[in-house]
Structure 1
Amino acid sequence: MKELINKLKGDKGIWSFVALLGLFSFMPVFSASSNLAYLGHGTGNTLGYLVKHFAHICIGFLIIYWVHKIPYHYFRAISKAGLPIVWVILAYTLVKGTVIAGANASRWIQIPFIGLSFQPSTVAAIMLFVFVARYLSKTRETPITFKSSLWELWTPVFITLMFILPANFSTTALIFSMVIMLVFIGRYPLKYIFFIISSGVVLLVFFVIIGKAFPNSKFFSRVGTWESRIENFTSKGSDEDDYQIEKAKIAIASGQLYGLGPGKSVQKNFLPQSSSDFIYAIIVEEYGLVGGLTVLLLYLLLLFRFVIASHKANTLFGKLVVVGLGFPMIFQAMINMAVAVELLPVTGQTLPLISSGGSSIWMTCFGLGIILSVTKKEEEIAQEKLEKEKREEILQKLIDRELEADLEEADLNNSNEDFDSGNYSITDNSKNPMNAVLK
C-alpha cells in the first residue's frame, strides 16, 4: 500500500478528498438504486447496481492515474485539435440522440458495438476550459483586442454552447458562467466581458423566442421544459419536477440530525432519480444533517485544495487549468445540493463522484487527472530545487573543507619556515630538546 501511495504524484490533499468521496458513494448508490432494481418488474436486488458503480469508480481512478502521468502542457495542443472533433460529436448527438428508459435523451449518445451511453457535453466542457486557458496564457507582443479575441476565443466558445444549448440548458449556463469566471481571472478586459455577457443573454432570448414560435421542432423541443421548470419553481404548480422536489424535501426532513441509518431511506422508492440527480436528498435522509454537512465540507475542502494548487502553479496556463477544471466540479455539486433543497429549479446536474453513472464519473476523473498533472509538475520543480540546493550545499562543504585544508597546510609551512629561520636553534651535538639554547 505504501508503494502504491508513493506512486501517486501530485497534491495528496486532492487525492485524499477524491478518494473519500468515491468511497462514500457506495452506500448511497447501493441504497438509492432500489427503485431502478424494481423498475420493469425487476427483482429489487441492487447488488448489480453496486457492482456497476464499483466498476465505474475503479475505471475513474485508473483514468486519474493515467492522465496525471501526462505532462499537462500537452493538453494545450490537444484542446485545440480536439475541439472541432467535439463539435462533430455534439452535432451528431443533437440530431441522432438516444432514448433512455423510454424518454427522449438527445444529450446522450450510444457508442456502437459497446452499448455504452455517454454525454458529449462533459467532454466538450473539459476541452473548452483548457482551450480558453490556452488562449489566455499565450505570450503576446500586443495586448488583447476585442476583434482578435472575438474570432480566436469567443467564436469557438459560442459554437460549442450552440450545440449543447438545445438539449441541455443547465449545462450550457454552467459552462458559460465558468468561461466568464475564467476570462475574468485571466485578466481579460472587463468592458469586453460585459459585452459578451449581454450578447449571450440576447442570443438566449432570441433562441427562446424562436423555440416558442416553432414548439414542435425537435431542435427547440426543450424550451417548453425550461419554461415549465421555472414556472413551477416560482409558483405552486404541480408536475413531475414538483413531485420530485416534494419527495426530496420529505427525505431531507425525515433525516433530522443523524438520519434513519444506512439503507433505511423511504423516499428512495418514490424519487425517480434517487441514485443520480437527487442522491443528496437520500444521503441526508439516511445520514441526517451530519452526513449532509460532511459531504458539503468535503467539497469545500476540495475547493480549498484547488485554490492552493492554482496559487502554487508555476505557469499561468497551469493556474487557469486548475481553476477552469476544478471550480466547475464544485459548482456542479452546489447546484445539485441546491436543487434538492429547492433553492434552484430542477437542472439535471449530478453530484460529482457520488451519483451513479459512468461517463459523468469518468469525465470528472479526467479533469481531476489534468489538475493533478499540474500539481505533479509543481512537486517535480520543488524536488529539483531541493536537490539543487542539496548539491550546492554539498559542493560548498567540499570547498570549505579544501579551503580549511589549504589554510592548515599554509599555516604549517609558515610555522616550519619560522622555526628554521627564527630565533631558536638546537646545537648540533644535542640530542635532547631540553638542551635548546638561545642564540
Structure 2
Amino acid sequence: MIAVSRADTSRLGRWWWTVDRWTLAALLALIGFGYVMMLAASPAVAERIGASSRNMFFLRQIFYLGAATAVMLAVSTLNVKEVRLLAWLGFAGALLLVAATLVAGVEIKGARRWLSLPGIGSLQPSEFLKPCFAVVAAWLVAEGKVNRRWGATILAIALYLLIAGLLKGQPDIGMLLVVTAVFFAQFFVAGLNLFAVGFVGALGVAGAGLAYLLFPHVQSRVHRFLDPAAGDNYQVTVALEAFGNGGLLGRGPGEGRVKNVLPDAHADFVFAVAGEEFGLVICLVILALFCFVVVRGLVRLLGETDLFIVLAASGLLTQFGLQAFVNMASSLHLIPTKGMTLPFVSYGGSSVLAIALGMGFLLALTRRRLSRAEDER
C-alpha cells in the first residue's frame, strides 16, 4: 500500500487520492495474467518456429508489459488539458506513420500494417491511432455540441474518413470496424437522434457488405464461419478442442497441448491456452475483469458533466471492451475469426503499449476533481 498523506499536494499525492484504484487494480490484474499466459504459451511457440531461445517471446513480453505499466501509470497522472495535448500529438504522429506503411510498410500475408524500425523491430502504428483518435474525436464532437462550433464536428468526420481510407489501403478491415464502432458510439452518446442512428446503422451494414464483396480474405472468413467445411478452420477447431479438454479447472499449468500445435497460441488464440491449462473458472475471471473495467468506467461517468470527458471515456471503454469481445468470441467460434489481440494478455508490443496509453487516458479522465481548476493542475 502506498503511504501518501491526504495533505500531499504534489502530482503523485493528488493522483493517488483521485485515481480510480479499483479500475487500476483490475488493469494490473490483467497485466499479471499477461505475464502468466506468456510463460504458459510462448516457449512452445518459439521452439516450434525454431527461434534462437525458447524464452524469446516471453522475455520480450516482460519488457513490453513493464513498459506498458509505466506508460499507463505516467499517463494517468495527467490533467485533462495534458490528455488532450498528448492525444493530438499521438494522433498526428500515428497518422503519419500509418500513411508511411502504404509506401514503406512490411508486407505480411498480403497486408502492409507494420513498419520495420532499427532497434525497435516491427511497429503497427494503427494501434496507437485508436486511443488517440478516440480522445481527439471526443474533443471535436464536444466542441461542436457544446460550443456550436460545427466546423469541429465536420473536422472529426473528415479525420475519420481519412483514417478509413488509410486502413482500407493497408488493408485492415478489422481495425477499421473497431474505429468506426467507437466513432459511432461517441456520436450516439453525444445525442445523435434516432433517425440518424438508423441511417448510420444502414451505412454500417452496407459497408460490411461492401467489404465482403471487395476483399477475398473477408469473404473467406465469413464462408468458413458459416460453413466450417468451406475452408481451413484448423485454428478455431483446435481452440474449441482446447476449451473442451480444459473443462472446469483445466489440465494444470504447463500441461496444455494446444500451444504445441496452434500457430497463434501466444497471440490471437491465447484465450484457448488459458481455457485448456486453467479451465473455465480462470476464463470467467478474465472475462469478469474486462467487464468490470468497462462497467466501472461507465458508472464513473454517470455524475460527469464535462461532455468531452464523457465522450472520450466512452470511446476508450468501447474500444477496450470491443477488442476483448472480438478476441474471445473468435476463439470460441461465435464470430468470424479476426486477428485481434486480447488486451494486456496476448503477445504484441504495439498492441500492449497502445492499450496502456488508452487506459492511461481513461484513468486520467475519470479521476475525481473538486473543481475545474483541478483539471489544469
**Deviation sequence 1:350-371 (CA, Å, 0-9, x none):** 1101111111111111011111
Partner Cα distance (1:262, 1:186) in 2:
46
Alpha-carbon displacement from aligned partner over 1:372-394 (angstroms, at most 9, x marks no partner): 11133x2454998xxxxxxxxxx
1:133 is paired with a residue whose SS is helix
Aligned to 2:158: 155
Q: Does 1:331 align with 2:336?
A: no
CA distance in 2, matches of 1:153, 1:249: 41
CA, structure 1 residues 232+51, in 2 after alignment: closer, same or farther (shift >3 Å)? same
CA contact (8 A) 2:47 2:54 kept: no
The 3 A distance-change label for structure 1 pair 260 and 204 is: closer
Q: Is the 8 A contact 1:35 1:272 kept in 2?
A: no
CA deviation map 1:72-94 (0-9, x unaligned) = 23343554565454333222113
- 1:299-327 alpha-carbon deviations (Å, 9 max, x no partner): 11111221122224341111111111122
Aligned to 1:117, the other structure's residue is in SS state strand
Size of the alignment, in residue pairs?
364
Cα pair 1:72 1:374 within 8 Å, conserved:
yes
Q: Deviations over 1:7-39 (max 9, x none)?
A: 645110111001111112222111111342213
CA shift at 1:292, angstroms? 0.8
- Please state whether the residue corresponding to 2:98 is helix, strand or coil: helix
> Is 1:229 equivalent to 2:237 in the alignment?
no
Greater shift in the superposed pair: 32-41 or 52-61: 32-41
The 5-angstrom pairing of residues 267-282 of structure 1 reads: 267-282=258-273
From the superposition, tell whether residues 130 and 263 of structure 1 become closer, same or farther in structure 2 (CA, over 3 Å): same
Mapping of 1:103-122 within 5 angstroms?
103-111=109-117, 113-122=118-127
**Shift in Å, 1:184:** 0.4
Q: Which residue of 2 aligns with 1:263?
A: 254
Is the 8 Å Cα contact of residues 28 and 263 (structure 1) preserved in structure 2? no
Give the ranges of 4+ consecutive aligned residues of structure 1 lying more than 6 Å apart after TM superposition: 4-7
Out of 360-369 and 118-127, give the one that drifted further. Answer: 118-127
Distance 1:144 1:181 in 2: 20
Deviation, 1:107, is 1.5
Bigger radius of gyration? 1
Question: Which whole-Å CA distance do the structure 2 matches of 1:159 and 1:201 have between them?
Answer: 20
Could you tell me which residue of structure 2 aligns to residue 32 of structure 1? 41
Q: What residue in structure 2 maps to residue 423 of structure 1?
A: none
Matches within 5 A, 1:4-403: 8=16, 10-42=19-51, 46-80=54-88, 83-99=91-107, 103-111=109-117, 113-138=118-143, 151-166=154-169, 167-202=171-206, 205=209, 209=213, 211=214, 223-237=215-229, 239-240=231-232, 242-376=233-367, 378-379=368-369, 381=371
TM-score by length of 1: 0.76
**Secondary structure of 2:80's match?**
coil
Deviation at 1:185, TM superposition (A): 0.6
Contact 1:281 1:340 (8 Å CA) reproduced = yes
5+ residue gaps in structure 2?
5-11
**Distance across 1 between alignment mates of 2:336 and 2:211:** 20
CA contact (8 A) 2:212 2:218 kept: no
What residue identity is the alignment partner of 2:64? H
Q: CA deviation at 1:328?
A: 1.2
Decide whether aligned partners of structure 1 residues 128 and 194 sit closer, same or farther in structure 2, where only a CA change above 3 A counts.
farther
Shift of 1:189: 3.4
SS of aligned partner of 2:94: helix
Change (3 A) 1:369 1:195: same
Corresponding residue for 1:217?
A: none
1:394-436 Cα offsets, whole Å, 9 max, x none, are xxxxxxxxxxxxxxxxxxxxxxxxxxxxxxxxxxxxxxxxxxx
Deviates more, 1:348-357 or 1:122-131: 122-131
Aligned equivalent of 2:8: none
Q: TM-score, normalised by structure 2?
A: 0.87
User: Residues 185 and 318 of structure 2 are in contact (CA less than 8 Å); yes or no, is this contact kept in structure 1?
Assistant: no
Q: Which moved more, 1:67-76 or 1:164-173?
A: 67-76
Q: Structure 1 residues 247, 132: closer, same or farther in 2, change over 3 A? A: same
CA distance in 2, matches of 1:344, 1:224: 17
Between stretches 321-330 and 65-74, larger displacement belongs to 65-74
Q: CA deviation at 1:153?
A: 2.6
Root mean square deviation, CA, Å: 2.7
1:179 Cα deviation after fit: 1.2
Q: Is the 8 A contact 1:30 1:46 kept in 2?
A: no
Q: What letter is aligned with 2:340?
A: Q
Distance 1:131 1:206, change over 3 A: same
How many angstroms does 1:200 deviate by?
4.7
User: Could you tell me how far apart the structure 2 residues matched to 1:81 and 1:346 are?
Assistant: 33
What's the CA shift string for 1:247-306, capped at 9, x where partnerless?
000100000110001111101111110011000011011111111111111111111221
1:2 aligned partner: 2
